Amino acid sequence: MNVALDAWLGAVPTAVADRIRDARDVLVVSHENPDADTLGAALAMRAIVEAGAGRASLICSDVPPPLYDFLLGIHEFGTDPEAGRAYDLLVLVDCGSLDRVGPVRERHAALFERLPAVVIDHHASNGAAGPADWVDPDAAATCELVALLAANLGVPLAAGDGALATALMAGIVMDTATFAHPNATPRTLAVSAALVAAGAPLADISRWLYRTKPDVQLRLFGRVLDRLETAGGGLVVHSTLMAVDLTETGAMSAHSEGIIDLLSQSEAAEVAILFKEAGPATTRISVRTKPGGVDATVLTGLFGGGGHARAAGASLPAAVGEARALVLPQAERLAAAVRR
């Protein structure tokens, strides 16, 4: 059974569709520290380009973690563009800013500057305003937008025996936390229904992403949860992930995915923060907030970050202790202002 998406296809900008349709050799770039949304969107973009008789390279500054091994083609991501390719289009998917592309952009600055670009993203903090940029903060996931693009261009969502639908569904499942977040709209559900009808195994994807964890990841979660602290009279809950935690548990950085969602389940806290040691003088923060309360982008924006109202992040040029001293007072101030 097919699920019609005609009512939403008009949202696809003509300039975006035209550039994708006309491109012959596309460089598709995901953000660093990739998640299911950026990876699924990139895989889907390649399928769309190939359906139009073009070809595409998949690029990510970081190798996708094992969590996403169920996605067909996931091991075909490179960390650099292929030498000698005559790329004629750059497509950035799910990159809230150019900084999120990571080191690959710095290594190939001239190429990134030369190529005409398409930006497809759903982060409210994305200020991209090029002639073929599509930034829609009302979309639950970038994969939601790419699904509409595929349908607009006449690419069957069932392409690749369901591989296209699976890649897109993975991004939506990840960014809605299996439809638990308030960002899932009627359009999100309609797109998701179309993807399931096209062969996306929704139950399996939800299990793979949210209910399947290796033992080393569970040990890592235990360490971080054991450091749980509160501030602002319980309105802020926070914890810390140190680099040594990864070494001593045998975990990878990607295994920290999901810890912040556990912290955000605090009954009383308006703001949940995970401080991640990313270097001797670098700390990344992940922030989650409750609906109707603190806008997470307001907090992370104070430190050069961004994201969504309920989920955002930032990177601070500071050691963990200093980062806590900078961030927590601001989080307490914002949480104290919430009236329910």
Calculate the average pLDDT of the chain: 95
**1 pLDDT above the threshold of 80:** no
Do 203 and 226 fall into the same domain? no
Q: Which domain holds residue 70?
A: 6-210
**Nearest to residue 54, comparing CAs of 84, 92, 28, 83?**
28
User: Can you give the pLDDT at residue 5?
Assistant: 95
- Is 37 in contact with 143 (CB distance < 8 Å)? yes
Per-residue pLDDT tens for 43-82? 999 999 999 999 999 999 999 999 999 999 999 999 999 9
Domain boundary among 210, 228, 261: 210
The mean pLDDT value for 294-318 works out to: 93
Per-residue pLDDT tens for 242-279? 999 999 999 998 899 889 999 999 999 999 999 999 98
Per-residue pLDDT tens for 126-183? 888 899 999 999 999 999 999 999 999 999 999 999 999 999 999 999 999 999 888 9
Domain count, the chain: 2
Do 187 and 311 fall into the same domain? no
- Is 107 in contact with 94 (CB distance < 8 Å)? no
Do 37 and 156 fall into the same domain? yes
Element (H, E) at 163: helix 163-176
Do 270 and 241 fall into the same domain? yes
User: Can you give the pLDDT at residue 99?
Assistant: 85
User: Can you give the pLDDT at residue 26?
Assistant: 98
User: Can you give the pLDDT at residue 63?
Assistant: 94
User: Can you give the pLDDT at residue 127?
Assistant: 86
User: Can you give the pLDDT at residue 308?
Assistant: 85
Distance between CA atoms of residues 326 and 304, nearest Å: 13
Domain boundary among 210, 239, 270: 210
User: Can you give the pLDDT at residue 76?
Assistant: 98
Which residues lie closer than 8 Å to 324 by C-beta, 6 or more apart? 238, 240, 275
Among 15-19, 121-125, 245-249, 336-340, the minimum mean pLDDT is found in 121-125
User: Can you give the pLDDT at residue 101?
Assistant: 94
Q: What is the pTM of this model?
A: 0.89
Do 206 and 219 fall into the same domain? no
User: Can you give the pLDDT at residue 333?
Assistant: 98
**189 pLDDT above the threshold of 80:** yes
The mean pLDDT value for 2-29 works out to: 96
Do 18 and 161 fall into the same domain? yes
- Is 297 in contact with 312 (CB distance < 8 Å)? yes
Domain boundary among 181, 210, 239: 210
- Is 301 in contact with 331 (CB distance < 8 Å)? no
- Does 188 reside within a domain? yes
Distance between CA atoms of residues 91 and 149, nearest Å: 13
Do 20 and 160 fall into the same domain? yes
Per-residue pLDDT tens for 207-249? 999 999 999 999 999 999 999 999 999 999 999 999 999 999 9
Do 140 and 250 fall into the same domain? no
- Does 15 reside within a domain? yes
Do 81 and 197 fall into the same domain? yes
Do 110 and 205 fall into the same domain? yes
pLDDT above 70 as % of the chain: 100
**CATH number of the CATH domain containing 137:** 3.90.1640.10
Do 204 and 219 fall into the same domain? no
- Does 1 reside within a domain? no
Do 95 and 233 fall into the same domain? no
